Structure 1
Amino acid sequence: MPILNRLEEARRLDGVSDRLQSAVSAAVRPQRLRDLLHGTWLGHPLHPVLVQLPVGAFVSAAILDLLPGTRRAATTLVGAGVAGAVPAVAAGWLDWSQMTRDRRRVGLVHAGANAVAVGLYTASLLARLRGRSGRGRALGYAGLTVAGLGAYLGGHLAYAQGGGTNQAAPDTARLPEDWTQVCSLASVPEKRTVVRLAGDVPVLLYRIDDRVSALVERCGHETGPLGEGDVVGEGWDACVVCPWHGSTFRLSDGAVVHGPAANNQPVIPVRVRDGHIEIRQP
């Protein structure tokens, strides 16, 4: 939609976005907490999981508000939704802080709409607790309407802009289907990463003795160049650290060790034949 295209290009939002990004990064410093909120331990972003509770509670409350004798149950659901929004918001803001500027512009409006929705539901909860059921229902439906707008923007951010998806996954489909030589084994130094091309796909190679691992070289988080990242650790427990946002992947199997990436880095099948390294599609 043209209006969303204009939002993606709305550079006037960057001043606010940059300040908020710095504030979020400063507020959430412990690596364990960052990994928890990013969903590194889960294998995909945590934010979409957490939003199921408030969304489900709010929608259920809206349905109950249409039925007689369900006032207490609807109030309980609105309270659960407001409480459940807190961790969802925290995870969402942290993910947002590690996105590119065009995604952060859409994400900023997405977050703003959801903040208004939670505010309306909080007011709805207070009205219900004070016995003003009609006002509580009206505020609840207003909150659901605004939350729908926020959800629409969140869908655009995820599906149209690729926010939170594994940016490296499409590269695996562009690799050769059959075993293909990429370089000689001798040209790959031990215990260091090197980048070689398989067709037009950069591949990250890591070697110890005659054993080689291969990963898609573009970081799955925001396509950062892993070939320029530092190698930390020893042996097959060694990891590569993305130079852009610090996502850390184990070189032996692509497992994500630290976020903001929440997905493993795609692993490429590799073998050594007659002194040459060969790779193919998974």
Structure 2
Amino acid sequence: MRQSRLLRMLDRLEREPMADTVIDAVRKKVQALPLGNGRDLLHGRWLGHPVHPLMVQVPIGSWLSAAVLDLYPGRSREAGLLVGVGLTSAAPAALAGWVDWAELHRQQQRVGLAHALANSAAVGLYAASLTSRVRGRHAAGRAYGFLGLTAVAVGGMLGGHLAYRQASGANHAEEVPHVVTQGWHRIGAVAEFPVDRPVRRSVDDVPVLVVRESGGAVHALAERCSHLAGPLSEGTVSDGCVECPWHGSVFRLSDGWNVRGPATAPQPSFETRIADGHVEIRLRRQGRDGQAPDEGEAQRRSTGTETRHGS
């Protein structure tokens, strides 16, 4: 079956560098906004996933409801109220979207820019719709409203492509607990891990970041950043955390917690131990009580040679 014309168009949009100069300029302006801790709030770190898709439900729902009312005579006033609610709520939703967009890959930013342009057109059309309604030009208000809803649909299609086909906003470390086998995995001699230096190893073909601290504790996290799969082993280790070299997400080495965005999901983490001079790791799985299960504990104790860390 041949690829649809729409998908071919979107694939071309991902590869088209025409707007890259504009993208660079806008990205720098967004990143320079003095948002402080509000940046993580807009990323949705507190929620565990991007907040932008949640915020856009208000303007989209309001405008869709206004379109339904516009199908019935004499409901223009109520429809106008909903148009106004949508316009008011569109601004914070757009800000959250821009903050996320500024930390994406270039191919994603190209589609995201088109998504933003379609939504900006929708805002302009709905502003014209509201102005027409206030001036008593209800027919024009309805016409602008339906055109705005069409622009919203185009923006939604582009947003869906961005979220699902290009996986922007997805947790890029989610598969780790499903592919790493249970039990302990030996990943190298202790001497192979310089103190406070990130080292990359692999378990079941899953890249793992390993850091040995000066006090002897060894920490291990999934190496690909949950934000956009950046290589944490190339990042900076400081104050018990590692910073992703791509977009600056910071994760706590002891448990993988994302202490700073844009990552909204923590890194899968591993328990570690030293047995016979070698570092061994085991995926930390959460039990019902929030603790890692202790299957095989008697067998581990029987070795009598292990030192555990990261528990």
Q: TM-score, normalised by structure 2?
A: 0.82
Matches within 5 A, 1:1-282: 1-26=7-32, 28-185=33-190, 187-189=192-194, 191-207=196-212, 211-233=217-239, 238-281=240-283, 282=285
Larger Rg: 2
Indicate the structure with greater helix content.
1
Higher relative contact order (CA closer than 8 Å, sequence separation 6+): 1
- SS state at 1:268 partner: strand
- SS state at 1:240 partner: strand
1:54-110 superposed Cα distances (whole Å, 9 cap, x missing partner)? 111111111111224433221111101001000111111111111111111111111
Shift of 1:207: 4.3
Question: C-alpha distance in 2, partners of 1:178/1:96?
Answer: 39
Q: How many residues align?
A: 277
> Is the 1:24–1:97 contact (alpha carbons within 8 Å) kept by the matching residues of 2?
yes
**Is 168-177 or 140-149 further displaced after alignment?**
168-177
1:28-64 superposed Cα distances (whole Å, 9 cap, x missing partner)? 2343121121112221111111111111111111111
| Amino acid across the alignment from 2:141 | G
Question: C-alpha distance in 2, partners of 1:205/1:130?
Answer: 66
RMSD (CA atoms): 2.1
Question: C-alpha distance in 1, partners of 2:66/2:280?
Answer: 57
- SS state at 1:164 partner: coil
> Is the 1:13–1:105 contact (alpha carbons within 8 Å) kept by the matching residues of 2?
yes
| Amino acid across the alignment from 1:62 | A
Q: Which runs of 5 or more residues in structure 1 are unaligned?
A: none
Question: C-alpha distance in 2, partners of 1:194/1:225?
Answer: 11
Shift of 1:190: 5.1
Percent of pairs with identical residues: 51
**Is 144-153 or 206-215 further displaced after alignment?**
206-215
Shift of 1:226: 1.1
Shift of 1:179: 2.8
Shift of 1:175: 2.2
Shift of 1:267: 2.3
| Amino acid across the alignment from 1:115 | S
Question: C-alpha distance in 2, partners of 1:192/1:206?
Answer: 6
1:110-164 superposed Cα distances (whole Å, 9 cap, x missing partner)? 1100000111011111111222211111111110011101000000011001111
Question: C-alpha distance in 2, partners of 1:191/1:275?
Answer: 18
- SS state at 1:195 partner: strand
Q: Which runs of 5 or more residues in structure 2 are unaligned?
A: 1-6, 286-311
Question: C-alpha distance in 1, partners of 2:159/2:271?
Answer: 35
> Is the 1:96–1:104 contact (alpha carbons within 8 Å) kept by the matching residues of 2?
yes
| Amino acid across the alignment from 2:220 | A
| Amino acid across the alignment from 1:111 | A
